[in-house]
Amino acid sequence: MRNLHIPGRSNVIGVNGMAATSQPLSTLEAISILKKGGNAVDAAIAASAVQAVIEPNSTGIGGDCFALVSIKGKKSIAVNGSGIAPKKATLDFFESSKINKISTTSPHSVNIPGAIHAWHSMHQKFGSLDFAELLISAEKYAREGFPVHEVVAKAWSENIDKLQQHPVTKAIFLRNNKSYGFGEVHQNINLANTLQSIAKNGIKDFYSGYIAKDIVSSLNKIGGLHSMDDFAEQDTIFSDSLTNNYRDIILHQCPPNGPGITVLLMMGILEKFDFTKIKPLSADRFHLQAEATKIAFEIREGSIGDPKFNDIDFHQLIQAEYINELASKISMDKIYKPKNSTITAHPETVYLTVVDKDQNAVSFINSICFPFGSGITSNKTGVILQDRCVNFRLERDHPNMIDGHKRPLHTIIPGQVTDMDNNPLLSYGVMGGQYQPVGHSHVVQNIFDFGMSVQEAIDFPRAFILENDYQFEKSIPEDILLDLKSRGHQISYSDHTHGGGQAILIDRKNGVLIGGSDPRKDGCAIGY
């Protein structure tokens, strides 16, 4: 049991269903859908739709989506709802235009939104309620307004300059040139009308009708390369999850262009070390985590892109022999210096997870990339558009080189853990852009190596290498930082916390669900 003398949260417990999201209204919506007879997929989509309205800094229907879905105890299915680049967005175009970097506020940063297509495709494959019912609450919050929560309000205030750059965005998301603050009510009538149209007509308006036309027109007027054909080509990919064993459990991730392979690389490396002799809050633990991070990111950044455009066998990257080779690069006394990897930030995402009474589990993540995405809002639809194309490389022959209808190497990761018979044990995710693989490994180790409860594992202090600077949350003792500095790490305390997170543990022995939600965000877990 946690120390009741220290501020914190208890684990949430339930038997009939559970949801954990980064917004209370989103969690409530998921529970409401479950109680109406919807399954975990229905609840996850409805919760994400609500968050697309009430957390506009992090997510929206102008963004992308990934998910892992476990139905009736079967192996997790990976859902890739990432958007393609416009057909004309070739490296030749950028070179001839003398563009050597894609700005986060440029129309060239906008890839085709994949989230709505993924939601609809998931519902067709797994859902039980009418799709329209899953959008009712989201439309209501957009039309009638919602109170801005604390962490969202902070992000809003930090991005006023971006929100002022585009007149439609400014009109919707600023009031008298000021951001919406904590407790203030925000409305987006145009977005409400868009959600109403999708509820009535499905996704055809979004990908071939007036919504697509307005997005294309809005982007073309400011130099975008987008076309209606691009929207028509968007699809959702269903595949087997990418897996690897960690001790006596199986880790499930989405295959590339998702970045889940980074988690499998990190965990494969960390498995080679004896954590029974290492304390969870220690210099050795954070040193190993940093070294595994650098090595895994170096491999990912140099080797991974959209598999439709590359012949790389990414399964070979997580084979035991190669993992052994990578682990041998780590010394406990000094740091590893990667040759070609600098880890940068992409800080905004929403992650949620739902498990229903039948123990169907959904691990679900939706994002518009940087805070408020590109800052570009479609003229008539209220849809703020993501800037995920900034993840591409403008580097010829690189696996992640930009190209027409190519998907960029992503940052958002849903995660699941099963036992060796593929029975679901944990549905989880950690937010925070490039931090996410580190957060995944951190939480999984906290639970399965260090025996922490779900909430303890999420709460536990974090650190992350950003631009080669090892940044620590301020709850980590100074003596640990000094020890790591002596090994060669560049050390600092961060002004920001690292990520967020949600998790639901399936206790199969007792037939209960145990959930936690990250205090670094506004949300909560609820079970019943």
Average pLDDT for 424-448:
95
The pLDDT tens digits for 246-298 are 999 999 999 999 999 999 999 999 999 999 999 999 999 999 999 999 999 99
Contact 43, 98 (CB under 8 A): no
| Count helices and strands in the chain by DSSP H and E runs | 18, 19
Beta bridge partners of 363: 68, 353
Does residue 312 surpass a pLDDT of 90? no
Q: Give the pLDDT of residue 225.
A: 98
What letters, b where the CB count within 10 A reaches 16 and e where it falls short, cover 318-357?
beeeebeebbeebeeeebbebeebebeebbbbbbbbbbbe
Q: Give the pLDDT of residue 72.
A: 84
Q: Give the pLDDT of residue 54.
A: 98
Q: Give the pLDDT of residue 468.
A: 80
The pLDDT tens digits for 396-434 are 999 999 999 999 999 999 999 999 998 999 999 999 888
Q: pLDDT band for 344, please (50, 70, 90 cuts).
A: low
Contact 441, 462 (CB under 8 A): no
Enzyme catalytic residues? 349
73 Cβ contact list (under 8 Å, min separation 6): 359, 422, 423, 424
Element (H, E) at 363: strand 361-367
Q: Give the pLDDT of residue 341.
A: 63
Average pLDDT for 298-321:
90
Contact 516, 502 (CB under 8 A): yes
The pLDDT tens digits for 62-110 are 999 999 999 987 889 999 999 999 999 999 999 999 999 999 999 999 9
Q: Give the pLDDT of residue 347.
A: 63
Average pLDDT for 117-123:
98
Beta bridge partners of 291: none
Q: Give the pLDDT of residue 432.
A: 87
Average pLDDT for 319-327:
95
The pLDDT tens digits for 39-53 are 999 999 999 999 999
Average pLDDT for 386-390:
96
Q: pLDDT band for 342, please (50, 70, 90 cuts).
A: low
pTM of the model: 0.96
Query: CA 453 → CA 134, 164, 251, 448, distances in Å?
Result: 32, 44, 18, 9
